[in-house]
DNA sequence: CTGTTAGCGCGTTCAC
DNA sequence: GTGAACGCGCTAACAG
């Protein structure tokens, strides 16, 4: 059943080492021999045993990726980017979903450690990075995803949420809006505070008003609630634009405005969301949104990982921060 | 750097074999010894090398899962169910995304084969199952996910789409609708034809009319297009209910009906979707939908896999077919 | 360019 | 209960 290099060597009439050379350094073997060995491999259906390779090599050709939420499109895109980049380098990606649970995260870290992964890409669930520090000290490359380490001890890839907030509000100011509302919360979430900070800075430099309408979560329902609230105001006291901390909120706002038919989007109130989820494009009024380059994040994370693996310990810890991009649709600029 | 069982044995003052016993059969070792060995493991930070274990065991404790679309919530749920079930059995799941590409699928199959996975869960991208047949013949357990093999040669888990279609239309008939439209396409997709077949059967047995409104894809935009079409008809010629082949179409229909404000949902037209995506619940009128037990699918797939692994080749190929479930919301039954 | 040999780290015999 | 010896399949190093 199990066919090994030995069987291949026997059938091809060469020695073990030659088969190994054909597999790993074909250029060092006479073409005719390569041919013979390869046809032996084919006729036997030989498949390399990766465990044996790894055992020998001491390191696997697998990298681990632990995400906070497997169902979140942001993370599936990150995973996709990482997978593609890794595959090009001959690496496989093992994806684990911590579901924001520190326990589940630990389970995966243990698993990956037993598997001797070449490196670990992780969006940590908690604030305690000591476990990862130990891992890294033992020689496993670690790259933080969507999060910078406070003490600069880990390489990381992230997206500049402050810039994202700024881009959104600058766009609204550029199309002539003067009374902007930031809708989002809770402010305990870093992304929310960062996006808000960017919004504040852009509003100030553009000389426009910015009020804050806090939410208890980043959901469609909360968006709808705030939408109703805005609508209940006299028209003169309404903002002329809303920047929502994510697309779910934005969709909820839009639903509230349009359903009632009382507020026209974008004529009376323009809306900008964040994340550019699939539904942003097919909303009743297609939603202008800030897009995070999630796939690029995954790709760069793999590159940083490889740099660490290749350069060894001595490499300086690198931080790559992406700038998000604005996707303009009809919720801010009506079609002509 | 690399600490092995040998180091642990040395520190604990016991032999290699004893450490192995502590790790795998602690009950066969004196409690005091177990204690000593375990504290040696802890102080050395010893982590088992899985490659070595696998090499010895001949089989890995990893199972592969290849999905058609990593971004599709259905498959992320399947993956989640499989992961959870596998983790309980001490297995890890390696997830690959074929993206409907036969090439990518092959790459993953090869990868998994080299890793000597204990088994493979797969939603095949093409119709050619011979590659999987060879795998299975070589002793790797294979379970088809969301697809039955035509020749009964593989174990499989799937969801009964015919039953799903039937459930949807039966519900519409039960709430008094008599002129139902099936919206969906292209009919080359098995899920579409199955759901339609179920709808036809249920309509016949309930004695209600069923017309077909074909679409070119299962998208929001197509749903909206059909919605406009329905709306353009004289009120007397409109259906009083629509069963959409998936939720995206249903959302598009709803958008068309409600935006214009001309057709009330569910009073004039009731809508049932399929898949119960996250947006179904937060649609303007929350959407009644047919939910597929995706996580259960993943869980059962792992169980079938384990049955094959444990029982060996001789086990009869099992087919598990789940029946989907109707989630009733306001798009068919207005709130009181 | 080819063949031979010695482990990689672990789990499993056996004898003790 | 314990310990020593062997081999899983492969690769790297060296000798031919």
Helix (H) / strand (E) element for B179: namely strand B179-184
Please state, in angstroms and rounded to a whole number, the distance separating the CA atoms of residues A118 and A139.
Answer: 9
pLDDT tens digit sequence for B22-67: 888 888 888 888 888 888 888 888 888 899 988 888 888 899 999 9
What are B261-280's pLDDT values in tens digits?
889 999 999 999 999 999 99
- Contact present, A331 and A254 (Cβ < 8 Å): yes
Task: Considering only CA atoms, name the residue closest to the C1' of nucleotide C3.
Answer: A15
Instruction: Note the pLDDT of residue A314.
Output: 56
- B282/A219 touch (CB, cutoff 8 Å), yes or no: yes
Burial of B4 (0-12, 13-18, 19+ CB in 10 A): middle
pLDDT for A313 equals: 55
CB atoms within 10 A of CB B58: 12
Report how far residue B176's alpha carbon sits from residue B295's, in angstroms, rounded to the nearest whole number. Answer: 33
Residue A312: the pLDDT is 60
- Neighbouring-strand partners of residue B211: B181
* Best CA proximity match to A251, nearest among A268, A274, A233, A232: A274
Q: Chain B partners of A115 at a C-beta cutoff of 8 Å?
A: 50-51, 92
Tell me how close the Cα of B206 comes to any Cα of chain A, in angstroms: 35
Task: Give the distance, in angstroms, between residue B40 CA and nucleotide D1 C1'.
Answer: 19
Q: Looking at the C1' of nucleotide C13, which residue has the nearest alpha carbon?
A: B17
Contact B71 A73 (CB under 8 A): yes
Q: Within 7 A of a protein CB, which nucleotides of strand D?
A: 1-5, 7-14
Q: Share the mean pLDDT of chain B.
A: 92
Provide the pLDDT for residue B161. 97
pLDDT tens for each residue of B89-106: 888 898 999 999 999 999
Q: Residue B87 above 60 pLDDT?
A: yes
For residue B152, the model assigns a pLDDT of 74
Torsion-angle region of residue A145: left (phi > 0), alpha (psi -120 to 50) or beta? beta
- Report whether B142 contacts B120 (CB < 8 A): yes
The Cα A252–Cα A226 span in angstroms is 8
The CA distance from A90 to A331, in Å, is: 43
Tokens 């990298």, residue? A63
For residue A82, the distance in angstroms to the closest alpha carbon of chain B comes to: 12
Rounded average pLDDT over B145-149: 87
**Who among residues 48-67 of B has its Cβ near strand D, under 7 Å?**
52, 55-56, 58
Q: Is there a cis peptide before residue A266, judged by omega within 30 degrees of 0?
A: yes
Would the Cβ of B16 be found within 7 angstroms of any atom in strand C? yes
Predicted local confidence at residue B315, as pLDDT: 60
Instruction: Write down the pTM of the prediction.
Output: 0.91
What confidence score (pLDDT) does residue B138 get? 84
Look at residue A315 in the predicted model and tell me its pLDDT: 60
Q: Looking at beta carbons, which residues of chain A come within 8 Å of B134? A: 45
The whole-number average pLDDT for the span B97-119 is: 93
DSSP string, A120-183: EEE--SSS--HHHHHHHHTT-EEEEES---TTS-SEEEEE-HHHHHHHHHHHHHHTT--EEEEE
Whether B230 and B240 have beta carbons less than 8 Å apart is answered as no
**pLDDT tens for each residue of B196-242:** 999 999 999 999 999 999 999 999 999 999 999 999 999 999 999 99
Interface contact B94-A97, CB threshold 8 A: no
Distance A14 CA to C4 C1' (A): 12
CA of B1 to C1' of D2 (A): 28
Which are the contacts of B99, defined by CB distance < 8 A and separation ≥ 6? B68, B69, B70
Residue spans of chain A under pLDDT 70: 1, 312-315, 336
Q: What is the pLDDT of residue B1?
A: 59
DSSP B68: S
Q: What is the mean pLDDT of residues B173-185?
A: 98
B42 touching A, CB under 8 A? no
Residue B58 and residue A255: Cβ atoms within 8 Å?
no
Provide the shortest C-alpha distance from residue B94 to chain A (in Å). 5
**B234 min Cα distance to partner chain A (Å):** 24
What pLDDT sits at residue B312? Answer: 61
Establish if A186 touches chain B: CB-CB under 8 angstroms.
no
Residues in chain B, total: 336
Chain A within 8 Å of B114 (Cβ-Cβ)? yes
Supply the pLDDT for residue B28: 82
DSSP string, B149-170: -TTS-SEEEEE-HHHHHHHHHH
Confidence at residue A29, expressed as pLDDT on a 0 to 100 scale: 85
Using the structure, give the distance in angstroms from the CA atom of A314 to the C1' atom of C6, rounded to a whole number.
32
Alpha-carbon separation of residue B12 from A261, B16, B37, B41, B43 (angstroms): 77, 10, 5, 9, 11
User: Which two three-digit tokens encode residue B138?
Assistant: 């070589």
Contact between chains at A70 and B92 (C-beta distance less than 8 A): no
């Amino acid at each position: 059943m199990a066919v090994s290099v030995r069987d291949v060597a026997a059938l091809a009439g060469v020695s073990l080492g030659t088969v190994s050379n054909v597999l790993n350094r074909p250029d060092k073997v006479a073409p005719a021999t390569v041919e013979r060995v390869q046809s032996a491999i084919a006729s036997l259906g030989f498949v390399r045993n990766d465990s044996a390779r790894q055992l020998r090599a001491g390191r696997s050709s697998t990298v681990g990726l632990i995400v906070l939420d497997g169902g979140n499109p942001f993370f599936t895109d990150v995973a996709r980017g990482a997978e593609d980049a890794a595959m090009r380098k001959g690496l496989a990606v093992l994806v684990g979903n911590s579901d924001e649970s520190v326990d589940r995260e630990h389970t995966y870290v243990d698993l990956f450690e037993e598997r001797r992964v070449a490196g670990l890409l992780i969006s940590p669930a908690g604030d305690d990075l000591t476990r990862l520090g130990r891992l890294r000290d033992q020689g496993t490359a670690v790259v933080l995803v969507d999060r910078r380490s406070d003490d600069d001890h880990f390489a990381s890839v992230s997206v500049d949420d402050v810039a994202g907030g700024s881009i959104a509000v600058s766009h609204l100011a550029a199309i002539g809006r003067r009374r902007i509302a930031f809708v989002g919360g809770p402010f305990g979430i870093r992304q929310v505070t960062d996006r808000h900070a960017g919004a504040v800075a852009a509003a100030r430099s553009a000389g426009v008003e910015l009020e804050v309408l806090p939410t208890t979560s980043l959901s469609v329902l909360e968006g709808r609630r705030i939408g109703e609230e805005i609508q209940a105001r006299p028209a003169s006291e309404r903002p002329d634009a809303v920047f929502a901390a994510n697309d779910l909120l934005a969709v909820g706002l839009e639903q509230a405005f349009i359903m009632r038919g009382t507020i026209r989007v974008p004529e009376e109130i323009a809306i900008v969301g964040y994340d550019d989820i699939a539904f942003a494009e097919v909303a009743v009024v297609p939603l202008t949104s800030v897009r995070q380059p999630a796939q690029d994040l995954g790709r760069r994370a793999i590159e940083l990982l490889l740099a660490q693996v290749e350069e060894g310990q001595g490499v300086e810890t690198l931080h790559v921060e992406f700038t998000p991009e604005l996707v303009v649709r009809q919720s801010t600029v009506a079609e002509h």
